[in-house]
Structure formats: C-alpha cells, structure tokens
Amino acid sequence: MAAVSLYFRRLFGAEEGGGEGGGGFSVCQLDCVAPDALDALLEFAYTATLTIPSSGMRDVLRGAQLLGIQCVADACRDILGETGETEGETAGEQRSQQTTSERTVETTNVVEKISRRKTDKKKVKKVGSHHNNFSPLNLLPASPASHPSPISDSFRSLPPTQPPSPEPEELHPKLRQNGDPRSIREPGRGATLNGGLLHWSPERPLTAHLPPLQTDKLSEDDDMEGLGDDIMVMGSSSLPTSVADRGAATSVVGGGRKRKSQTPQQCPVCQKIIHGAGKLPRHMRTHTGEKPFQCSACGVRFTRNDKLKIHMRKHTGERPYTCSHCPARFLHSYDLKNHLSLHSGARPFECPLCHKAFAREDHLQRHRKGHSCLDLRTRRPRRVPELAEEGGENEGLRDLSSPLSLQAHSSVFLPRSVLESGGGSGGPPVIFPGGIDRERSLALLAQLNPQSLASYPELFLRGLGMRGGRETEREDPGGTRSPALQRDRWADDAEAEEAEEGE
C-alpha cells in the first residue's frame, strides 16, 4: 500500500525521507474512505486493476485523493469528465464543461469533457496503474511531481518519479500511430494503463490521445488501443515505471508489435505463461491472495466466481453429477469421473516400479512421492526448487543406474532445456535461480516482457523472494498432464538431480 499510496507511505514511514511520518502504526482506521471504494483501491494496489461501479466513482475518487493515489484519482476524474489539474486547487481555474452533476471534488477543475460515456459503464476496468508507484525499485512516488495531488501539500514534498527512459522506437513502431505522439512518450506520465483507461497525466490535455472518432462510442477497449504498445515501451526502461498493460501483454513477448490475441500472457510474478483471454487477472489473484467472491451463506471467500458457484451447491444441496450405477451424487464432475472408475474397476495408472495400479493419477503420484516403492527405487526427499535450480548440495537421488533414472533418460527433457537456455537467445527463462542477482533478474524479465513486469512490479519482486515455495514446486512449465508426459516430468526431475550430482 505504501508503494502505491502517498498516504500510506507517510503513515508507515516507508519512505525514508519521510521523516516524521512515521511508521509504527500497526492499525490504521480509515473512516474517511467508503468501504467499497477502499476495496477497489486495495484491489488496484495489488493487481493494477481498478473496478468501480459507476455509482461509486465519486467515493473512489475521494478515497484516491485522500490516500494519495494519484493515478487513480486522475483516472476517476477523467471518467467523470473532470480534470486533474489539482495542483491549483484554485477554483478560479475552473473551466467550463463540468459534465456531471456531481459536486465535484473541491480541487478538480474541468478541462475537457472527454470522459465520455464511460461514466455510465458499470465497470470501469483496469485503470492501468502506473505503477510507477509500485515499483519496489523505485519507491519514490511516481506521481507526486508529475501529478500533484490535491490532498496534501505535504505530499508534494515527496520526490518525483523518475521518468522512464525513452524507448527504442523500433520496437514500438505503432506508438505514434494514434496521432498523438505525446500520448505515448511523455515521460513520467503514467499513462498507460492497463487495460483501460488511458490517461493519467493531468498536465496533458485529456483529449490528446483520444482519437476523435472515439468520443462517442468509446469503449474501454478502444481507449486501450494504441496504448498497449506504449506500455511496453515504458516498461522496459526502468521497470516499474510504467504500468504495463496486461491486456496487451502478449505482444511484447514476441517483441513484435503485433497485437495478437492477448494470449498467452506471462505472469510477472512467477513467470508462468497464462493462456486464455482474461486469465491473467484471475491468475494474479493467486499471488495477491485476493478473494473477491464471498459466499453469502457462510462467508467463505473464493478467488473465482465459478468456484463460488460450485461452493454454493453445498448450501443448496445440489449435486448435479449422479452416478448411473449407484445413487452416489457429486458436486464436481471430476468427482463423478473418479467415482466411475470404481465401478469400472479400471486402474489405468500403474507404477512403473512396483506395478501397482491406481484408479487415480494423483494417487499414483502420491504413491511415487511416498515410500511405497522404497525398496525399488532410491528415495529422495521432495525436490526443493531452490536446490534444483541452483544445483548445490542437495542430497537425494543421484543414482543414475536406478530404474527411475533410467526411465528419466529415456524421456524428453524439453522443459529443462528450455529453462537452461536461460537468458540466452532462445526461449524465455521461466525461472530465476534463487540466488540470481535481483537486478539482473529484473532486467532480464523487463527485456523479456517489459510490460507485464511493469504491471506488477511489486508482485514480481515479491515473487523473486518467494521463489522456491510451493508455488514453484507446483509449476508445470510443460503444461502437460497426461500420464505419459507426467513420466517425462519425473524424468525431468531426475535429470535435474543428475545435474546436481554432476556438481
């Protein structure tokens, strides 16, 4: 929160220069921000996504101002058709065109009424964050200087954000194509956003990057047009400077500016490639811990709506999956599937070592991970990611002559090879070794996917720190799950061990 909010930065003393602002607060009561608005702002802080019911726009704006989250405040103003020229809280500057009925926030001045119809949208999505603010590498408030906040003069004393360095233009040929070069390169302007809104920079006319034609039917998507690319631009320079746009993520990976369907996208935290449109935000919640979907009956929260829906079956008693052979009914289709194997007696998953057969693949895996075959294979503790990556002193299975190892060597090792190609010319490194230099990691990632990194710089760094946890262990770079491929994966593990042994 301190990374994104001037208020919290002060409050918790995150900023050294902050002086008296002083940390020490363990509990902070925020009566002045509406709960819904605070929710939205928290979501924004962690995911760079801002979702605001149109009815709550004002609250969010006010909250953003109070908490010193300038980019959000700017975005809200933009949407509301106000302007962020807050610097001068002088009412005198007010220029006409106040669009909405709202009693505008005292400090806002209306410059242009471009906020078009977004106001009535139910959801304002993704206000890209500029996450300048986010950057752990650059904790300086991104916006204070460039986007003076109305909320407090004291905040103004905070150092300005470092403007992103210019981007190589060749990489972003399309940058200027929306007709407003400024919209793209203006340093320090956080503009890009993720997904949705576009502009933040108060100093620049809001209309600037909106192609004229869009005024009427401007959709959020439209807004994003042309911005997605900028994003990457900014992202590569100093990471966090910009906010990348998750939406356009993919394009960057290829280095080209092709706006291909946004899938797949790389998670800036775990580097996992997420396939499917709109799936990255969902994935990000696994890192943020955010659980926006709450059961109205028992209060349990879920990260996904579909999971909540299934959960609700417990309350409704609905068990839609019925076994045709017995009265058993299940909540999940896969439960039924598992159950059916009982009737069929099928045990398609056989341990290659002891030939014990299982009805479920996960049971076979558990069997293999356990000690069931201890006498037949060299047992090793579950591989620890850091060790696996760094090589090192890990003990464990090294006997290549063991059945497991032999099997391993008969398999394909693509995932490993990909990993080891590392920062080379080839494939993207999926994992940063635990001991890798942080800056190098960041630079590497920025190079690989600047915009996605910029989208979640904070999370990315956190990810570096947490690497090696269960998250890593569960990674499935190959994305394969068939029994045969699973074997390859084991083989892959074995090979990793072999490598360790070599050292």
Partner DNA sequence: CTGGGGATGGGGCCC
Partner DNA sequence: TGGGCCCCATCCCCA
Compute the least distance from the CB of residue 487 to DNA, in Å.
10
Instruction: Choose which of 14, 33, 57, 274 interacts with DNA (CB under 7 A).
Output: 274
Could you tell me which residues come within 8 angstroms of residue 309 by beta carbon, excluding any fewer than 6 positions away?
Answer: none
Residue of 98, 45, 87, 85 whose CA lies nearest to 69: 45
Whole-number Å distance between alpha carbons of 84 and 288: 30
Beta-carbon-side half-sphere exposure of residue 198 (alpha carbons within 13 Å): 33
Residue of 116, 98, 161, 133 whose CA lies nearest to 6: 133
Instruction: Choose which of 363, 380, 438, 462 interacts with DNA (CB under 7 A).
Output: 363
Residue 438, interface with DNA (CB under 7 A)? Answer: no
Question: Among residue numbers 198 through 227, which ones bind DNA (CB under 7 A)?
Answer: 221
Rg of the chain (C-alpha set) = 26
Binding part of the chain for DNA, among 3-11, 99-107, 353-361, 434-442 by CB under 7 A, reads 353-361
Could you tell me which residues come within 8 angstroms of residue 375 by beta carbon, excluding any fewer than 6 positions away?
Answer: none
Nearer to DNA, 15 or 497 (CB): 497
Phi, then psi, of 322 in degrees rounded to 5: -105, 135
Other beta carbons within 10 angstroms of residue 12's beta carbon come to 19
Question: Among residue numbers 459 through 478, which ones bind DNA (CB under 7 A)?
Answer: 470, 473-474, 476
Binding part of the chain for DNA, among 234-242, 270-278, 406-414, 425-433 by CB under 7 A, reads 270-278
Question: Among residue numbers 6 through 25, which ones bind DNA (CB under 7 A)?
Answer: none
Instruction: Choose which of 118, 209, 246, 467 interacts with DNA (CB under 7 A).
Output: 246
Question: Among residue numbers 180 through 199, which ones bind DNA (CB under 7 A)?
Answer: 195
Whole-number Å distance between alpha carbons of 221 and 121: 13
Q: What is the dihedral of CA 487, 490, 495, 496, to 10 degrees?
A: 150
Instruction: Choose which of 10, 58, 113, 126 interacts with DNA (CB under 7 A).
Output: 126
Q: Which residues pair with 109 in a beta bridge?
A: 83, 84
Instruction: Choose which of 95, 275, 315, 440 interacts with DNA (CB under 7 A).
Output: 275
Binding part of the chain for DNA, among 9-17, 84-92, 128-136, 337-345 by CB under 7 A, reads 337-345
Show the binding pattern over residues 43-82: x = contacts DNA (CB under 7 A), - = does not.
--------x-------------------------------
Compute the least distance from the CB of residue 364 to DNA, in Å.
8
Say if residues 131 and 192 touch (Cβ distance below 8 Å).
no
Bond into 164 cis (ω within 30): no
Compute the least distance from the CB of residue 223 to DNA, in Å.
11
Binding part of the chain for DNA, among 129-137, 255-263, 397-405, 448-456 by CB under 7 A, reads 255-263
